[in-house]
Structure 1
Amino acid sequence: MDHLFTVDGQRATPISRTGLAAENLLERQHLQEWVIAHPQVLGESVLVVTAEYDRWADTDGVPARDRLDVLGLDATGRLVVVELKRGTADRDVHLQAITYAALVSRFDLDTLAHAHCAFLSRRGEALDVEVCRQRLLDHVDGEWSPALLQRPRQVIVAADFPKQVTHSVVWLSEMGIDIDLVQVGLWRVEGHLVAGFTKVYPTPEVEEFTLAPARVEGEAVARKLQERSHSRKAVHVLVDAGLLPEGTRLLMTPRHGVTEAIRADIRSWVAQDTARAAATWTNDTAKPLLWDADGAAYSPTGLANHIFTSVTGRSVDGIQGTKWWDVDTAHVPAGVDPEAWATLAGSDLTALARQVTGTRKDWTELHTLLGGVTAGRWTTYGDLATVVGSHPVPIGQHLRACGRCPSPWRVLTATGEVSPGFQWPDPARTDTAASVLAGEGVRFDGGTADPEQRMREEELRQLLDG
């Protein structure tokens, strides 16, 4: 608070600001005790575990000289490392907080229980270690997680912060390290001292609109390169598998790396021009998306980042763009079985890549299977895909283009019908697949082949085993 007034009707009288040093108040004896008595200034539901902790030692067994001001535990199960300064914080105060966070990140429940027990004992409350352990467990909502202890939250409390600290803390927060800055102020009001604690960073607005991608997604920003690698891998898998034909329509649903508030902003932005929500797939491993809004080629993540920046005016890292784009199954590409295409509904590019991971473009086994489907028998795209480790869509695409596939007309949809997308590799042929099948002895009932004549997955596998 920069300005504080006493108010008497229309009259507001400024209150003079003072400081802890000016009032002969000390860091340890006063400020620290205020925080211990009122841990809500550190955040919601914080239990003070210990204070003035110095019971660690280096690898040689020599006790360390570092003394942690306050250590708390919040209800999520994360430790809260608190550094206190009664005046303006030192330029390297954040480095001190990080050092303490690194030290306590190796603590386990037993270490914390003993530290809490010793802390309470010094303050005149004698509890045994088991009681202290249970007190810690009871404070945490849900199960105790050792993994969460390895990611402490840090809080620096000071009268003011130099720019070196605020700039560093902003960057560290964007990198996924939680550091809060809390400013302590002191005023003299009618002979009494009034203390105030104000969280100056991150403010709710900053947390929502600036740090949200890092904090909401948690690990995602810290693993930015890993997420980019995942996106690249997904594109390569899809191209190699031939799952998405050239010209496949994709629709955008913003997911990974953005908050719900930003998603709502993106939806409003798209409503102004619906072309912004659509793209066309090309089998280019570098930039497979042609965006309807400008016709330019993008990678999935590159386009997601571009859209984020267009909406928010800021750049962002950590978005995995392949999670933003879904197949528009209402638009069936030419030559694709509509039933097989419908199975892609509700899956983003990342999920689709998982479905076909390991798929090869070596169709030798497929040709072997097709050669084993004899006259008077039929099979399905799905059965063939399952046996060779592919998907019905690339199977259909291959049959449509390959001039060497044995008897492609003997492959039908899951319901036993000729696919609307079926076409002869030789465009000069004018007979229909159904007429050829009927001539080979396949019985049809209203366009549906006799299920008794179907070669199913088990029978197809025997062709390969032999």
Structure 2
Amino acid sequence: MALYNITNKELHALEKTTFTLEGLQERYDLQEAIKKNIDIIAPDCLVISEEFSDWEDSRRRIDLLAIDKQANLVVIELKRDETGAHMELQALRYAAMISTMSFAKACEYFQTYLKKQNCDADAKEKILEFVELDETELVDFGKDIRIVLASSDFSKELTTTAIWLRDKGVDIRCVRLTPYRFNDDVLINAEQIIPVPELEEYQVKFREKRDEQLISSQKKEKDYTWYI
């Protein structure tokens, strides 16, 4: 996808660049900017932790950990390279590792994050206000784990894996971040490529219909000979 600048009724293609060429680092530039504007890659989400690593026997870190409006946990991984190498494998590991996180623990992690941001807000109140629910309604907190991968590009292997995972019911999304040079500024185009936004609703309905047909088929195949 190309971006253009229009001047005097003329279109001029913007020069595509790279994060490396522009001296933008993955954690200290890209991640720092995105966490303050998370809607760019993960709409309706609230960041509750950064560089999350509160588990034993592992030094792995989740770039950004968030929750969505349905009180699901969201694993967000960022890469500035051209392939997004092994992002999906890392994210799947992280999703499994946080799958048992309780609401109380999430509030604890969020409170620590807020303190680092020099914010004295109450973490629990902020989360409850965000999800628009009472604490008693959060019995299914974190029941589903979503995954958001953001990179300057993705390899064919990764996109194939992401599509397969979505077909199996895993909510994984890929957002391509393309930097452009415009005069003295760097512009970033954020484009969700998996799932294609215009097809997402159709794909969900198609998967639900297929699952219903599968369940119906399995019921018909049951053995009722013991009734005879």
**TM-score for both structures, normalised by structure 2:** 0.89
Q: Name the structure 2 match of 1:4.
A: 3
Which residue of 2 is the match for residue 85 of structure 1? 79
Q: Map 1:169-248 onto structure 2 (within 5 A).
A: 169-214=162-207, 217=208, 221=211, 228-233=217-222
Matches within 5 A, 1:127-142: 127=121, 131-142=122-133
Question: Structure 1 residue 97 and structure 2 residue 91: aligned?
Answer: yes
What secondary structure sits across from 1:20 in the alignment?
coil
Following TM superposition, by how much is the alpha carbon of 1:141 offset from its aligned partner in structure 2, in angstroms? 3.9
1:70 pairs with 2:64: yes
Give the match for residue 112 of structure 2: 118
Task: Return the letter of the residue paired with 1:7.
Answer: I
Q: Which residue of 1 aligns with 2:15?
A: 16
SS at match of 1:137: helix
The aligned counterpart of 2:161 is 168
Q: What is the deviation of 1:79? A: 1.1
Find the residue that maps to 1:149 and give its secondary structure: coil
Give the 3 Å change call, closer, same or farther, for CA 227–108 of structure 1 in structure 2. farther
* Higher relative contact order structure (alpha carbons within 8 Å, sequence separation ≥ 6): 2
Structure 1 residues 182 and 168, CA gap change in structure 2 (3 angstroms): same
Write the mapping of 1:247-396 to structure 2, written as runs, cut at 5 A. Answer: none
Q: Provide Cα deviations, 1:256-284, integer angstroms capped at 9, x if missing partner.
A: xxxxxxxxxxxxxxxxxxxxxxxxxxxxx
- Aligned counterparts of 1:132 and 1:148: Cα–Cα separation in 2: 15
Output the amino acid matched with 1:22: L
Where does residue 254 of structure 1 map in the other structure? none
Letter of the structure 2 residue corresponding to residue 98 of structure 1: L
Deviates more, 1:197-206 or 1:103-112: 197-206
Unaligned runs of 5+ in 2: none
Partner residue, 1:36: 35
Between structures 1 and 2, the one with greater strand share? 2
Cα pair distance change 1:54/1:97, threshold 3 Å: same
Aligned to 1:307: none
The 2-side partners of 1:165 and 1:34 are apart by 25
Percent of matched pairs sharing the same residue: 25
Q: Is the CA contact (8 Å cut-off) linking 1:77 and 1:141 kept in structure 2?
A: no
Q: How far off is 1:122 after superposition?
A: 1.3
Please tell me the residue identity of whatever aligns with 1:19. T
Post-superposition CA distance 1:44-102 (Å, at most 9, x none): 32111111111111xxxx4x211000011111111111000011234421011111111
User: Structure 1 residues 167 and 7, CA, compared in 2 at 3 Å: closer, same or farther?
Assistant: same
CA distance in 1, matches of 2:95, 2:83: 18
Q: Which has the larger radius of gyration?
A: 1
User: In the aligned structure 2, how far is the partner of 1:7 from the partner of 1:191?
Assistant: 17
RMSD over equivalenced CA pairs, Å: 2.5
Contact 2:50 2:113 in 1 (8 A): yes
Deviation by residue 1:130-171 (Cα, 9 ceiling, x = unmatched): x21122122114464443513211000000000000001000
Preserved contact between residue 114 and residue 123 of structure 2 (Cα < 8 Å): no
Output the amino acid matched with 2:96.
A
CA contact (8 A) 2:49 2:113 kept: yes
Residues 4 and 106 of structure 1, relative CA distance in 2, 3 Å threshold: same
The offset of 1:174, in angstroms, is 0.4
